[in-house]
Amino acid sequence: MPKVLLLVATLLLFPSYARSQTKTITRVSDPIIIKGAQIPPLRGIPLSRIALYSSRNGAAAPVTFQIDEADESGALSLSTPDGSAINSDDGKWDDNDELVFMSCDLGDRMSAAQLPAGYLAAAEISCADPITQGSGWVYCVSFSEPVREVAPPYVRYDSKRDYVATDRYEIGYTPGGMKSYFSTLILKDNDSVHSPNILDRYKFRVTMKLFFSLITITRNEDDMRAVLAGYKDGPIRAVRRCNNSLYLKFGIRSPTSMVDNYYYRDSIEWPTLIRLPFNVSTVASEALLISGCDWNPTATGMNYFNSCNQVPVLVDGFMSDEEKKLDKKPYLWSALSGPQGTMLSRLWLSESLVMGKELLYMDDKTIMDAPGGCTGHWGYNGWAFNIITVPAGTHRFVSCFYFPKDYRRGDENAYLNILDHPVTVSVRQMTGDSPKIVSTKFITD
Q: Which residues bind Ca ion (CB under 5 A)?
A: 69, 89-90, 94, 96-97, 200, 294, 314, 316, 318, 320, 363, 372
Nearest residue (CB) to Ca ion, 316 versus 411: 316
Which residues, at least 6 apart from 353, have a Cβ–Cβ distance to it below 8 Å?
390, 395, 396, 397
Q: Give me the least distance between CB of 364 and Ca ion, in Å please.
A: 8
Nearest residue (CB) to Ca ion, 317 versus 435: 317
Q: Give me the least distance between CB of 191 and Ca ion, in Å please.
A: 30
Distances (CA, A) of 324 to 272, 314, 362: 30, 12, 9
Q: Give me the least distance between CB of 439 and Ca ion, in Å please.
A: 17
Contact 30, 424 (CB under 8 A): no
Contact 154, 235 (CB under 8 A): yes
Alpha helix (H) ranges present in 142-188?
none
Q: Give me the least distance between CB of 224 and Ca ion, in Å please.
A: 17
Nearest residue (CB) to Ca ion, 286 versus 316: 316
> How many whole angstroms separate alpha carbon 31 and alpha carbon 47?
20
Q: Give me the least distance between CB of 295 and Ca ion, in Å please.
A: 8
Q: Give me the least distance between CB of 391 and Ca ion, in Å please.
A: 33
At residue 441, φ and ψ (nearest 5 deg) are -70, 160
> How many whole angstroms separate alpha carbon 77 and alpha carbon 118?
30
> How many whole angstroms separate alpha carbon 70 and alpha carbon 66?
13
Contact 79, 72 (CB under 8 A): no
Q: Give me the least distance between CB of 369 and Ca ion, in Å please.
A: 6
| Torsional sign, CA 371, 373, 376, 380 | negative
**303-306 and 309-314 strand pairing:** antiparallel
Nearest residue (CB) to Ca ion, 67 versus 347: 67
Contact 405, 392 (CB under 8 A): no
Q: Give me the least distance between CB of 316 and Ca ion, in Å please.
A: 5
Nearest residue (CB) to Ca ion, 28 versus 314: 314
> How many whole angstroms separate alpha carbon 205 and alpha carbon 125?
44
Nearest residue (CB) to Ca ion, 89 versus 412: 89
Nearest residue (CB) to Ca ion, 69 versus 266: 69
Strand-pair partners of 268 = 263, 401
Nearest residue (CB) to Ca ion, 132 versus 320: 320
